[in-house]
Structure 1
């Protein structure tokens, strides 16, 4: 699981049927915890399925790889990243 910030919304004109009613967000991955308060975060930009109804600028936890599709089992979803939690506070 990684930390990211939502930076936009993705709208599809055509999509795979498994993505019907999907809320997709554009997120920027956190590349170093030292940069959590900075804009931009400095990491890669990724499109992720939004399970948490996030807003722009929210810090989120992101599941990647095969784990990102686990909440949808037994359905098969063509996902590589899913927003699974909103982060209110990060304390180290």
Structure 2
């Protein structure tokens, strides 16, 4: 699982029926420097499927690859990244 910040939302006119009901977020994965507040601590943004309702600026925990489809087993969905949690606070030492 990785931590990222929601920087936008994807709007679709039509999507695959198996993913209706969720939203698509544009998320910038954060490095340790990004978790500490450094604006240069962001990696290349990616699109993450969300059913939890994360908003702009939220920090989320997301999974990628095969793990992204696991929450939907046995009815797998065509996902590359899935929002697993919305984080309230992050402490980095």
Task: Specify the TM-score bucket, using the shorter chain as the normaliser.
Answer: 0.7 to 0.9
Residue number in structure 2 paired with 1:64: 64
Q: 1:41: Cα distance to partner?
A: 4.0
Q: 1:60: Cα distance to partner?
A: 0.6
What is the TM-score of this pair, normalised by structure 2? 0.87
Partner of 1:63, secondary structure, is strand
**Within 5 Å, which residues of 2 pair with 1:29-68?**
29-30=29-30, 32-36=31-35, 37-39=37-39, 41-68=41-68
Q: What do the CA deviations read for 1:1-49 (whole angstroms, capped 9, x no partner)?
A: 001000111111122222222211111111x212221336420111111
What is the TM-score of this pair, normalised by structure 1? 0.88
**Within 5 Å, which residues of 2 pair with 1:6-45?**
6-30=6-30, 32-36=31-35, 37-39=37-39, 41-45=41-45
Residues paired across the two proteins, number? 91
Runs of 4+ deviating beyond 4 Å: none
Q: In structure 2, list runs of 5 or more residues that go unmatched.
A: none
